[in-house]
Amino acid sequence: MPKVRTKDIIEKFNLNILSGEEGISRSITVSDLSRPGIEIAGYFNYYPKERVQLLGKTELSFLEQLTTEQITERMERLCTDITPAIIVTRDMEIPEQLLEASERAGVPVLSSPMKTTRLASHLTNFLEAKLAPTTAIHGVLVDIYGIGVLIVGKSGVGKSETALELVKRGHRLVADDCVEIRQEDQDMLIGNAPELIEHLLEIRGLGILNVMTLFGAGAVRSFKRVTLVINLEIWDPQKQYDRLGLEEEKMRIIDTDVPKLTVPVRPGRNLAVIIEVAAMNFRLKLLGVNAAEQFTNKLAGVIGDGPGEE
């Protein structure tokens, strides 16, 4: 199913339908927009017909210099079988030739009172969010001191119980069990909960809990950027775990590498406190303070200043 149709942008931006109403269910497949000034001048060799077309003051004023035959021919070529919509900004007067061509081709012609650049900015942001690559990950997403921490691990390892303790400590739940993640821009991952399980937390033995009802609106948020991954795994005595914090592990989500920490789980370890401190330490690293590097540099200095051989 197409993610975005023309009728979605009509509803979102309160656009007026002037002609071509039968095409409002056309799908929009790209977030890029087009201002077809060079096409109106007659050059259609590289016309991006699959994009939403914006006609502003510049394009419409240029039309006034063309003959009636030229306007008719250019408008016919603008309206193709895959063009999702043609939007006229500033509620400007629209050439009759465009309305006629759009009716024949079934291309919606829409109008907006907004300025062209402003509408283009809002429309691009909306389409990029809707058309962004998405994936779903089994885990829990929590906002800890402004850091979006994605907690992953095998089923039953204690992800939801840890999230509950974090919420009790004043942090905010974004999603439990299934985290929908979309990639915005080049390296920005935004996580949210599926609508069906938003604000819900599943605890074995207790069942489904509504976090917002139990702890208030301040205990949840709708979405958060994923900046750190915590992998919980059952303690393996045969495995060597990082004890200094110098190892840089990454987890690839869609096309973005996210810093990842592996935390072993065994009785007696307070996972909520460990994850909370991990988020605080991650913030310090972003600010340029790395305790592990400072320790190793200090240790190297002590070793270098040791007694020399005689």
Neighbours of 82 (CB within 10 A): 11
Say whether 153 counts as a known binding-site residue.
Answer: yes
Q: For this structure, is 199 an active site residue?
A: no
Helix (H) or strand (E) holding 141: strand 140-144
From 57, 104, 118, 138, the catalytic residue: 138
Between CA 204 and CA 72 the distance in angstroms is 68
CA nearest to 143, candidates 288, 283, 291: 283
Strands of the 109-111 sheet, one edge to the other: 16-19, 109-111, 86-88, 52-55, 33-34
Catalytic-labelled residue, pool 243, 252, 266, 305: 243
Q: Is 298 annotated as a binding residue?
A: no
Identify which of 109, 99, 195, 181 has the alpha carbon closest to the alpha carbon of residue 139: 181
Instruction: Give the gyration radius of the chain's Cα atoms.
Output: 28
Is 308 annotated in a binding site? The answer is: no
> Of 49, 74, 159, 199, which is the active-site residue?
159
Residue 122 appears among annotated catalytic residues: no
Alpha-carbon gap, residue 70 to 63, rounded angstroms:
9
Nearest-angstrom CA–CA distance, 108 and 9:
12
CA 34-35-37 angle, 5° bins: 135
Q: Does 154 belong to an annotated binding site?
A: yes
Could you say which of 177, 260, 283, 285 is catalytic? 177
Residue 253 CA from chain centroid, whole number: 12
- Judge whether 156 is annotated as a binding position: yes
Residue 245 is assigned to a ligand binding site: no
User: Is there a catalytic annotation at residue 138?
Assistant: yes
**236 belongs to the catalytic site:** no
Reading the block at residue 299, the tokens are 């240790």
User: Which residues make beta-bridge pairs with 135?
Assistant: 181
CB atoms within 10 A of CB 226: 25
Q: Is 158 annotated as a binding residue?
A: yes
As a whole number of angstroms, the distance between CA 231 and CA 279 comes to: 13
- CA–centroid distance for 120 within its chain: 19
Q: Which two tokens stand for residue 16?
A: 């007026």
Residues flagged as binding site: 153-160, 202
Residues catalogued as catalytic: 138, 159, 177, 243
Residues flagged as binding site for ATP: 153-160
